[in-house]
């Protein structure tokens, strides 16, 4: 949702499809992902910053972290249990946590909640004007479309991961010879349009329509998912096929 809103519907989905090519596996556990990077098993992973900082404290050499061009802030709440046995101590602890001194300690490990505390690099100041947040983020769209977009991503990208990588390999090969003649260029353009068809198949406006027709994406969702699955399978198949045709056309020389 961040990527879609920070770019736009078409550019966001193209970015997500292209990024999926670089993904070796989809990991459900951020801790495991961080360990794989720290151990050198994978070169990088996308995950919450504190998972990286934990590993950087242990594996200080060769492990780093950087923020992407769009991110979100997820607060770690703290509270007092009303039935606790030591309410005065709990209140005193909360008061201390919010002091500049305590937040300076927190700033060495996470992002502080006080504007007068500077976090330790590579952590960045969440109050800085250049913090990579999404301007004009549409929270309503996030709430309405989150589950729809999640399933759309699953059907078009997660489930089709191997097909996407296969299509990408063929497209990369075709890219080397796509300008040799008109037919090669034509089939290459078709391949690329098929490869990025996810961005054209549905648009932002349709999310509202689907949300209303499915009672908030809770009823009769299966027909939509099946339709997306059929469309995605066809799109990536055509992408691979047209990339192959582009290479074949390039080998045939210029048309008479």
Tell me: do 125 and 144 sit in the same domain.
no
For residue 67, being part of any structural domain is answered with no
| Position 59 pLDDT exceeds 80 | no
Domain that holds residue 22: 2-58
Residues 147 and 238 in one domain: yes
Residues 143 and 244 grouped into a single domain = yes
Confirm if 25 and 36 have CB atoms less than 8 A apart: no
Residue 103 is inside which H or E element, if any?
helix 100-106
Residues 53 and 92 grouped into a single domain: no
Domain match, 121 and 153 both: no
For 24, residues 6+ apart whose C-beta sits below 8 A from its C-beta are: 42
Whether 150 and 224 map to the same domain: the answer is: yes
Q: Is residue 256 part of a domain?
A: no
Total structural domains within the chain: 3
**Cα separation, 42 vs 24, whole angstroms:** 8
Mean pLDDT of 2-26: 89
The per-type count for the chain, helices as H runs and strands as E runs, is: 12, 0
Query: Does residue 178 share a domain with residue 124?
Result: no
Q: What are the pLDDT digits (tens) for 165-174? A: 999 999 999 9
Query: What's the gap between Cα 114 and its chain centre?
Result: 28
Q: How far apart are CA 114 and CA 131, in angstroms?
A: 15
Q: State the CB neighbour count (10 A cutoff) for residue 13.
A: 26
pTM as predicted: 0.80
pLDDT at residue 60 tops 80: no
Is the domain of 77 the same as that of 44?
A: no
- Indicate whether 254 pLDDT > 70: no
234 in a domain, yes or no? yes
Q: How far apart are CA 55 and CA 52, in angstroms?
A: 5
Whether 183 maps to a domain, the answer reads: yes
| C-alpha–C-alpha distance, residues 2 and 133, integer Å | 9
63 occurs within a structural domain:
no
- Whether 208 and 126 map to the same domain: the answer is no
Q: What is the mean pLDDT of residues 159-178?
A: 96
């Amino acid at each position: 949702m961040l990527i879609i809103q920070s770019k736009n519907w078409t550019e966001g989905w193209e970015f997500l499809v292209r990024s999926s090519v670089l993904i070796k596996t989809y990991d459900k556990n951020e801790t495991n992902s961080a360990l794989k990077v720290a151990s050198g098993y994978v070169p990088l992973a996308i995950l919450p910053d504190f998972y990286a900082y934990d590993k950087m404290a242990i594996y200080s050499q060769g492990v780093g972290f950087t923020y992407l061009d769009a991110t979100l802030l997820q607060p770690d709440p703290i509270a007092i249990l009303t039935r606790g046995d030591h309410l005065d101590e709990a209140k005193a602890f909360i008061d201390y946590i919010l002091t500049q001194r305590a937040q300076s300690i927190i700033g060495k490990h996470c992002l502080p909640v006080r504007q007068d505390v500077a976090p330790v690099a590579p952590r960045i100041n969440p109050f800085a004007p250049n913090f990579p947040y999404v301007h004009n983020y549409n929270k309503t769209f996030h709430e309405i479309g989150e589950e729809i977009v999640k399933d759309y991503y699953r059907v078009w990208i997660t489930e089709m991961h191997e097909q996407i990588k296969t299509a990408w390999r063929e497209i990369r090969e075709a890219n080397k010879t796509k300008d040799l003649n008109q037919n090669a260029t034509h089939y290459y353009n078709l391949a690329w349009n098929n490869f990025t068809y996810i961005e054209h198949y549905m648009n932002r406006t349709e999310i509202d329509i689907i949300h209303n027709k499915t009672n908030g994406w809770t009823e009769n969702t299966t027909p939509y998912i099946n339709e997306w699955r059929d469309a995605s399978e066809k799109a990536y198949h055509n992408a691979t096929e047209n990339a192959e045709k582009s290479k074949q056309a390039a080998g045939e020389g210029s048309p008479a």
